[in-house]
Amino acid sequence: MKRPIAISDSANFYVSAERIFDLTLKNVPVIVLSNNDGCAIARSDEAKALGIKMGTPLHHIRDKVEAHGIRVFSSNYTLYGDISRRVVEVYEDFTPNVEIYSIDECFLDFAGFKDRTAHAMALRAAVLRRVGVPVRIGIAPTKTLAKCANDIAKKNPIFAGVLDMMDENLARWLLPRVPVGDIWGVGRKTTDKLKALGVHTAADLRDLPIRQARAVGTVVLERIVLELQGEACLAFEDVEPLRKGMAVTRSAGTPMTDCKTRSNIGPRKRLRFAVVAE
Amino acid sequence: MPVYPVDEPVHIPSQSVRIVSTPVSAGFPSPAGDDLEDEIDPMAWVVRHPASTFWWRVEGDCLWDAGIRDGDIIAVDRAGKRRIGRAVLAVVDGAVTAKILRKRGDRYYLAPANSQEQFPDVELTEDSEIWGVIAGVVRRYDLA
């Protein structure tokens, strides 16, 4: 049998971390801002439901914040790092191998566990009880499929936060329902190229001939296709740190309509309006 | 009594301290005091589950009889068993408070432990929550 890999991630991690200590944040819209309080970088489900998109500048949503009583937080990375470390510590009680992928995502070696769903449910309950943040877990024979399972579990409450996609029939049923752009590593440009070729779902991509995949998106896409077929190409602890795209941004917090507003912003901040694109 | 999260996560470098086997009695030091027997890491002694133990600062004296005073820093373990009679951190109407967990009949209460002052009991309802169990307390005294 293929080796099961699980990926666990926290729901709206920064918001969940803030909620540990402030119980009044339960069931209300909460956002956490980027450095310098510029943009919303974490949103509770309630805030997402209000239409606040990832990265929205705070000054664009002032009216919403006011109207709905959205609770707004500056980011506290010391806290998030501490909570992340604690979550990993709980993972380590449930698997011999943990690969930290980002502040809120870890790959977990699930080989050897008989009832993987029950094990994942127990892990989920333990993280919630011991640290206080909710996590979702996807299990599959490859990292790409595990990410996909995690994403499905995230979007469909029926799975109660855990989806074991080791069963091939289940994967065969689910993949046609996943848009190709939701697959880990398939960016917007690749999505457009694939759509032009009639590849719209994860199942379409899985069935794309390998050579064609390589022609469209180099060895990277070829690997994704193989991973979707259930062939592990990304070994445990073999992934380079995520390239989500990086930006250094500064915004003033208030619209800059005249010179006075502009000069009220300190020189250090003003100098750092540059955006670094990757 | 209100409790506040300690702003920065408390990271204590684990440090063993040699302890003298004789209990400290407030009297003449035992001549056998040289006989150092054991080593103890005071933080590890309090913090049994590092992943689930958080530090909070206490304000007020409602758990005085339980040895917890205004200004103390308490270790609260979310994984601790919620037993009757234990000092717990609870959340009532969004406010965090440290109390003793009590049961009368079928009902659970959060009770103070201070014979000097009267604080009211709070009934534990669906809207309140036990956040964790108090695992230990750290206090320091003036040296100046």
pLDDT in tens, A166-212: 988 888 888 888 888 888 988 888 888 888 888 888 888 888 888 88
- pLDDT reading at B66 higher than 50: yes
A-chain residue closest to B127, CA distance: A23
Which two tokens mark B82?
């919620």
For CA atoms A85, A87, A89, A91, give the dihedral sign.
negative
Residues 6+ positions from A196 with CB-CB distance below 8 Å: none
Phi, psi at residue B75, to the nearest 5°?
Answer: -95, 125
Mean pLDDT for back-to-back runs of 10 residues, chain A (278 residues): 89 92 90 90 92 89 88 91 93 91 92 91 94 94 92 88 89 87 86 86 87 85 89 71 56 64 50 38
- Quote the pLDDT of residue A133: 94
Task: Tell me which chain B residues have a C-beta less than 8 angstroms from the C-beta of A78.
Answer: 8-9
| Amino acid identity for residue B109 in this structure | Y
Q: Does pTM top 0.90 for this prediction? A: no
Averaged pLDDT for residues B85-99? 90
- Quote the pLDDT of residue B92: 87
- Quote the pLDDT of residue B60: 86
The number of beta carbons lying within 10 Å of the beta carbon of residue A238 is 11
- Cα maximum dimension of chain A: 68
Beta-strand ranges (E) seen in chain A are: 5-10, 30-33, 40-43, 71-74, 98-102, 105-109, 135-140, 162-164
Cβ of B49 under 8 Å from any chain A Cβ?
yes
Task: Tell me which chain B residues have a C-beta less than 8 angstroms from the C-beta of A87.
Answer: 51
Distance CA A128, CA A228 (A): 31
* pLDDT top residue among B4 and B36: B4
Task: Tell me which chain B residues have a C-beta less than 8 angstroms from the C-beta of A24.
Answer: 94
Among candidate residues B84, B134, B135, the one with its CA nearest the CA of residue B110: B84
Among candidate residues A104, A113, A99, the one with its CA nearest the CA of residue A143: A99
Of the candidates A24, A82, A89, the beta carbon closest to that of B9 is on: A82
Task: Tell me which chain A residues have a C-beta less than 8 angstroms from the C-beta of B49.
Answer: 130
* Distance (Å) from the alpha carbon of B141 to chain A's nearest alpha carbon: 28
Of the candidates A22, A23, A130, the beta carbon closest to that of B52 is on: A130
- Quote the pLDDT of residue A23: 85
Of the candidates B9, B51, B91, the beta carbon closest to that of A130 is on: B51
- Quote the pLDDT of residue A239: 46
Confidence of residue B32 (pLDDT cuts 50, 70, 90): low
Of the candidates B5, B50, B94, the beta carbon closest to that of A89 is on: B50
- Could you tell me if B71 and B139 are in contact, meaning their C-beta atoms sit under 8 angstroms apart? yes
- Residue keyed to tokens 């250094």: A248
Residue A76 has, within 13 A of its CA and on its CB side, a CA count of 16
Distance CA A170, CA A16 (A): 31
- pLDDT reading at B110 higher than 80: yes
| Amino acid identity for residue A178 in this structure | V
- Quote the pLDDT of residue A118: 93
Residues 6+ positions from B73 with CB-CB distance below 8 Å: B6, B10, B55, B56, B57, B58, B137, B138, B139
Distance CA A146, CA A162 (A): 11
Q: How far is CA A88 from CA A146, A157, A185, in A?
A: 18, 24, 24
Averaged pLDDT for residues B32-58? 82
Averaged pLDDT for residues B103-107? 90
Q: Provide the total of helices (H) and of strands (E) in chain A, helices listed first.
A: 12, 8
* Distance (Å) from the alpha carbon of B80 to chain A's nearest alpha carbon: 9
Of the candidates B54, B78, B91, the beta carbon closest to that of A129 is on: B78
* Distance (Å) from the alpha carbon of A46 to chain B's nearest alpha carbon: 18
Q: How far is CA B68 from CA A36, B7, B9, B143, in A?
A: 39, 20, 21, 20
- pLDDT reading at B27 higher than 70: no
**A171-A175-A181 Cα angle (round to 5):** 140
Q: How far is CA A126 from CA A121, A134, A154, A165, B107, in A?
A: 9, 10, 18, 22, 27
User: Which of A209-213, B4-8, B40-44, B51-55 has the highest mean predicted lDDT (pLDDT)?
Assistant: B51-55
- Could you tell me if B57 and B6 are in contact, meaning their C-beta atoms sit under 8 angstroms apart? yes
- pLDDT reading at B15 higher than 60: no
Cβ of B10 under 8 Å from any chain A Cβ?
no
Among candidate residues A173, A180, A168, A242, the one with its CA nearest the CA of residue A206: A180
- Could you tell me if A123 and A142 are in contact, meaning their C-beta atoms sit under 8 angstroms apart? no
Among candidate residues A42, A29, A36, the one with its CA nearest the CA of residue A59: A36
- Could you tell me if A74 and A106 are in contact, meaning their C-beta atoms sit under 8 angstroms apart? no
Averaged pLDDT for residues B14-31? 57
Confidence of residue B26 (pLDDT cuts 50, 70, 90): low
- Quote the pLDDT of residue A271: 40
- Quote the pLDDT of residue A264: 55
CB contact under 8 A, A23 and B5: no
| Interface size between A and B, measured as CB pairs under 8 A | 34
Distance CA B105, CA B121 (A): 15
Q: At what angle do helices A13-21 and A77-91 cross, to 10 degrees?
A: 100
